[in-house]
Amino acid sequence: MARYTGPVCKLCRREGVKLFLKGDKCLTKCTLERRNTRPGQHGASRARKESGYAKQLREKQRVRRTYGVLERQFVKHFGAAANRPGKTSENLLQILEMRLDNLVYRLGLADSRAQARQLVNHGHFAVNGRKTDIPSFIAKPNDVITVRERSKGLEYFKARALMLAQKGVPTWLSLNTNELSGRVITIPSRADLELPFDEQMVVEYYQR
């Protein structure tokens, strides 16, 4: 499966905002706070006035990179969002939030979406009792995500169980710290998602 393997701090510098691609480390060790310029030889040069297209492109890239989705998969998600009833922009965010790798991250079972994606790929999780190792799997309300029994004995998940008691989860999810499992209560609305995006610009980018 193709994925970005370069330095993630460079992505935050390119977008000019914190994307929290390294989890809690972004709160204590943030390259963007020390080097608030675009990467590359001319990153510190005088800023140019962005066109409407450039603003739409940057917003699309921010959303895509935050969720760790490559362009081909992102276009697929956008197509699914456009075919659903309701606002395409909100549908897109809901699809991204209901991805299995994002749910593992939201439940606090991983420090970042990239780490969550790796854990899912390695087969540590089950959805409704069935092993699921596809990060792009789209969950539904009442689905239960559980750490598999064979994985609960790993040192990582033993340490994670102790940390979960100190972490909260979004209101549209529930967490059972004893069982290392979580349940999707409902599909989140835009008001439930505190995201620094203007997702309508993403829609405009693809519909231009």
CATH number at residue 160: 3.10.290.10
Residue 1 pLDDT class (50, 70, 90 cuts): very low
Give the model confidence (pLDDT) of 82-128 as tens digits.
999 999 999 999 999 999 999 999 999 999 999 999 999 999 999 99
- Tell me the residue range of the domain where 123 lies: 100-184
Residue 94, domain member (yes or no): no
The confidence score (pLDDT) of residue 167 equals 80
Neighbour-count burial of 49, counting CB atoms closer than 10 A to its CB (0-12 exposed, 13-18 middle, 19+ buried): exposed
The confidence score (pLDDT) of residue 128 equals 98
Q: Name beta bridge partners: 174.
A: 183
Residue 147, domain member (yes or no): yes
The confidence score (pLDDT) of residue 186 equals 97
* Whether the Cβ atoms of residue 116 and residue 136 lie closer than 8 Å to each other: no
DSSP characters over 113-158: HHHHHHHHHTT-EEETTEE---TTPBP-TT-EEEE-HHHHTSHHHH
The confidence score (pLDDT) of residue 208 equals 84
Residue 64, domain member (yes or no): no
Number of domains in the chain: 1
Residue 198, domain member (yes or no): no
Find the farthest-apart pair of alpha carbons in the chain and give their distance in angstroms, rounded.
55
* Whether the Cβ atoms of residue 98 and residue 88 lie closer than 8 Å to each other: no
Residue 180, domain member (yes or no): yes
Residue 117, domain member (yes or no): yes
Lowest mean pLDDT among 17-21, 96-100, 173-177: 17-21
Q: Is the pTM of this model over 0.85?
A: no
The confidence score (pLDDT) of residue 35 equals 58
Residue 45, domain member (yes or no): no
Residue 165, domain member (yes or no): yes
